[in-house]
Amino acid sequence: MNFSFFSPVEIIFGQGVSKNIAGYIPSLYSKNKNIVCSDFASKFEVKTKSKIEKALVITGKNKGRAGEVINSLKRSGISCELFVQPSEPSIDDIINGVELARKSEVDFVVAIGGGSVIDAGKAIAALTTNTDNIMKYLEVIGDGVPLSEKPLPMIAIPTTSGTGAEVTSNAVISSDKHQVKVSLRSNMMYPDIAIIDPELTIFASPEITATTGMDALTQLIESFTSKFANPITDALSQEGIRRVARSFKKAYSEPLNIEARSDMSFAAMLSGITLSNAKLGAVHGIAGPMGGMVNAPHGLLCASLLGPVISANVRVANDIAINQNQNNLVNNHVSSNQEFQIIGEDIKITLNKYSKIAQILTNNTGLVECNDLINYINELLHHLKIKEISSKALPKFELSQIELIAQKSKDSSSMKGNPVTLSFNQIKNIIEQSFFSKI
């Protein structure tokens, strides 16, 4: 058994912990005694500081949620500059944020909001100190050159339970010019501190609770079934799926249920840790490129794709098993008690893992089938009113676009973690099944 696992973020978890953000500044300072890197300091004529004095606070559209954090910082003698990130960050948004950070000579970044806000914070912190054009560092559409300088210190405070961005090392950035979402990625981009306060998530609307929760569940399932999964990510993914199973519906229907909100915050955090170490799969392989072409919530795309992707993966796995002369796997049947003596080890693991997911979500330790898992997902989507959300939030797109999305998806980085290889036509069929009947 050989694997690696890395998760350097200091995690502060609990109800009300965000109210004491100033209390965590000494820890931030101890991690970053030389606050401004020498290259940045010399290029922009900024003096290297010996202590933290000024923060760039990044928020979403609702700036009021950052009020208590800003007041706590100010009471401790730290001044604040405010940067509003109202939607998923674009290249221009990041450039504007970097310009403000440099002009204001901030010492660290605090991002309080959903995944888009935290991604913006990670990118701005990284590119404030790495001074070349942003295109030098971006994957896919840029040169993908590694960062050479350590980013500004950063604290991430999520207000939703979805992306797990508070514990990941990349930032997803959209390019209007290229109609694609790409990543800025580096192991130096992990936030220094993640302050995860479930109380902050009770203000999330039912729609946000639904779509972000589906993103978290998808990330947990995909990292559990990924080709790159390992024993640690397997354990964490299963724990996250258990918490989603017992609390997702409650968090949606009872928004003030702090126990349910805590479970979802914890599950989202675990999903970020697991995806950072095990990667993802075809749902994100399709949702990423599609999100660059259509303006729709990422979690909504994941929700629509999850069932069809699982069905396709199990169907391909069973076809492989049949071709390997295993005759007791038919009709998408998945049993946790079967002994797979003939088929390959990878296929055995994949089918057993989908069986385990079905058992956890349905709370059934007995015989389960792929259809039980799909039925659970469909019932969950009905409970969360995903169809109604889709009718409002999913823009119309042409059938002709599907082939372009499928081609971009086949070549996407997330697709590399999918447990089986999907053909262009299989990906195209997944997209048609997930969206064409809905548009």
pTM of the shown model = 0.91
Q: Is CATH 3.40.462.40 correct for 204-439? A: no
pLDDT in the model for residue 49? 57
Say how far apart CA 281 and CA 278 lie, in whole Å. 10
For the chain, report the end-to-end CA distance as a whole number of angstroms.
46
pLDDT in the model for residue 176? 85
Domain spans of the chain, in order of start: 10-200, 204-439
User: Do 10-200 and 204-439 have matching folds?
Assistant: no
pLDDT in the model for residue 437? 59
Say how far apart CA 364 and CA 355 lie, in whole Å. 10
pLDDT in the model for residue 343? 46
pLDDT block averages, 10 residues each, the chain of length 439: 93 95 84 54 50 90 85 92 94 97 96 97 98 94 94 97 96 88 94 97 95 98 97 98 98 97 98 97 94 89 97 93 59 46 71 95 86 95 95 80 90 92 95 76
pLDDT in the model for residue 342? 39
Quick one: which of 361, 259, 352, 232 has its CA closest to 307? 361
Sheet holding 108-113, edge to edge: 10-13, 193-196, 154-158, 108-113, 54-59, 79-84
Q: What is the CATH number of domain 10-200?
A: 3.40.50.1970
